[in-house]
Amino acid sequence: MTTAKDLFIIAMEPSVEHAVGQGDLSLALAAAELIDLIGAEAVTVDDDRIVPGGPTTPDDRLLGEAAAGLTRQAPYERIEDWLWRRGRDLSASYQAALEKDGELTRKRSGRLPFGPERVEPADTPARRRAADRREEREPVLAALASVVGIDGGRTGDEPGLDDEAVTTVVAVVHGAVMELEAVRQRRTIENTAFANVWRGP
């Protein structure tokens, strides 16, 4: 399993207090893929740009798609641009892949048989591995979980990241998620103002 899949699994856990926004999660999944590619030495980070290494074929299909989508011509792609491009609807891709692999299950919430359906992790070795990484506060997973507000979104007490490139990716995705939240808030204010105009004095 990849860091992105572990992150998706813990984001779907019923114990997570607040639902993680799909846009936030998609950005964090893209960051997790990039961090795994850094760990596999498939890419390096030069300032804020992603520099691909030699051709690589990760075992994981989605990580392979991420590697295949890298910009291989100078001046290369900025990390932030990669997150927005790769992250588009990425959470839906992970949900589909994990459901296909039997890692997710659909359950009805509430007592009624026709209540709303929710997706949560199935009881599999992958779920236990992700839970162990979360419990041990493995630095990369803990940092990405905090970015999307899991475990209260704590950042001050996170274990330190010992890789400069990984630290850079986490900082950039944190900024991207904050930017997305600012857009949401602006839209809410605009929609409220529009509704007030129609409502009249």
Is 188's pLDDT higher than 80? Answer: no
pLDDT at position 141, please? 95
Residue 117: pLDDT above 90? no
Q: What percentage of the chain reaches a pLDDT higher than 90?
A: 69
Q: Is pLDDT of 32 > 80?
A: yes
- How many residues does the structure list for the chain? 201
Amino acid residing at 40: A
What's the chain's Rg over C-alpha atoms? 18
**Position 198 pLDDT exceeds 90:** no
Residues 6+ apart with CB under 8 A from 84: 27, 176
Domain ranges of the chain: 3-199
Band of residue 191 on the pLDDT scale cut at 50, 70, 90: confident
Cα 9 from Cα 24, distance rounded (Å): 15
Beta strands per DSSP E along 34-164: 43-46, 49-52, 77-78, 104-108, 117-121
Please say if the pLDDT value at position 171 is more than 70: yes
* 8 Å CB contact between 180 and 80: no
Report the percent of the chain where pLDDT is more than 70: 87
124-167 tens-digit pLDDT: 999 999 999 999 999 999 999 999 999 755 444 445 788 999 99
pLDDT value of residue 166: 95
CB atoms within 10 A of CB 139: 18
Q: Give the count of alpha carbons within 13 A of 68, CB side only.
A: 9
pLDDT above 70 (res 11): yes
Q: Is the pLDDT of residue 115 over 60?
A: no
CB atoms within 10 A of CB 106: 10
Q: Name the β-bridge partners of 107.
A: 118
